[in-house]
Amino acid sequence: MKIVITGGAGFIGLNLARAIIRRGTLTGPSGQQEEVDNILLFDQAVPDCLPDGLDERVTMRAGDISDRDTVFGLVDRDDISVFHLASVVSGGGEKDFDLAMRVNLDGGRHVFEAARARRGLPRVLFASSVAVFGGDAMPHVVGDSTKQTPQTTYGMTKSIGELMINDYTRKGFFDGRTVRLPTIFVRPGKPNAAASSFASGVIREPLNGEECILPVKTDVQMALLGYRNAVAGFVGLHEADGEAIGDDRAVSLPGNTYSVAEMIEGVKRVAAVNNIESGPITVRPDPAIEVIVAGWATHWEASRAKALGLPNDENMDRVIQDYIDDFMPAR
């Protein structure tokens, strides 16, 4: 079978591809385990050569997800599953409304329509976000049944995507599942346009001996999930029994709540264990980032994910150590 991952050149997309390669098979439209013989990673830009951990089954293609013909050309087999991760993220969506609508809504609909056009019931996994929740009436603890009142353009487009997944599945167009994510950490590389980017930067930069400029105060709390268990959640929800998911196809992955102060203490603690001299952290609030982050849910309930066997992190120190092991091999 073929796997298409949109946003496939991103951090989660690449790690998802590596996980599928290690696994070798996924449940296909037949309902049976099928060997994965092709993984197509699609993104707006792709590297010139395959990143580490990928093999000859993987191809990478650059293009515009808002172009319908391009997307239909990706989803070109009936024995297929699609992981739709491509998105304009939170900070980018606030700066450019039209871009977010074109990529997140138009692009998403092209993906869904391309899957609908195939025979059978291909599985379509859609990446959503804690940003679907917000507003003055948002409860202290959010969960799968919490009313969605997003306070960002990004969150709005994710909420619409969740509803589309539910309805396309109800209509029998495909077998859709939404992976609703808390903030994922620790991401390697450079900061991106996501308002939550500092959740990785406050760990990544100090471990690299660099200064981290924090755009929020240290009492800010966030719901976080480590990247290894985020990838495991995508695979686990893909493999889950559809009847066990039910008519609400959106499942919030587990996560733990930490304050930024706890994150700072955590990176110092794990750095010391690994004999790493951590770089400085400077608090320099950015009002635009603070407004976005203040509207997010901070406490997260994931009983449906737990019932489906989707994993959570042991603790923050474990995630930081995983990052060191995976992306700082010289240490």
CATH number at residue 45: 3.40.50.720
Alpha-carbon gap, residue 27 to 7, rounded angstroms: 22
Asked if 27 contacts 123 with a C-beta cutoff of 8 angstroms, the reply is yes
Q: Flag whether pLDDT at 1 surpasses 70.
A: yes
Q: Is 254 within 8 Å of 225 (Cβ atoms)? A: yes
Asked if residue 30 lies in contact with residue 79, where contact means CB atoms within 8 angstroms, the answer is: yes
What is the overall mean pLDDT for the chain?
A: 95
Q: What pLDDT does 42 receive?
A: 98
Inform me whether the pLDDT recorded for 193 exceeds 80. Answer: no
In the chain, what percentage of residues exceed pLDDT 90? 91
- Give domain status of residue 220, yes or no: no
Please calculate the CA angle 191-192-194 and round it to the nearest 5 degrees: 120
- 295 lies in some domain: no
Q: Is the peptide bond before 130 cis (omega within 30 degrees of 0)?
A: no
Quickly tell me which residue has 């808390």 as its tokens. Answer: 182
Instruction: For residue 18, give its domain range.
Output: 2-183+225-254+300-313
> Is residue 323 annotated as part of the catalytic site, yes or no?
no
- What domain count does the chain have? 1
The active-site residue out of 154, 227, 258, 323 is 154
Inside any domain, residue 191: no
Beta strands in the chain (DSSP E): 2-6, 25-27, 33-35, 38-43, 58-62, 80-84, 123-129, 141-142, 175-181, 183-185, 212-214, 221-226, 250-252, 256-259, 281-283, 299-300
**pLDDT at residue 90, as a whole number:** 80
In sequence order, what are the beta bridge partners of 181?
129
> One-letter amino acid identity for 326?
D
Residue 330 binned pLDDT confidence (cut-offs 50, 70, 90) = low
Separation between Cα atoms, residue 202 and residue 211, nearest integer Å: 9
Quote the CA–CA distance of 132 and 38 in Å, as a whole number. 33
- Is 179 a member of any domain? yes
Q: Has residue 328 been placed in a domain? A: no
Rounded Cα–Cα distance for residues 233 and 252 (Å): 10
Residue 233 lies in a domain: yes
Q: Is residue 197 part of a domain?
A: no
What DSSP designation does 101 have?
I
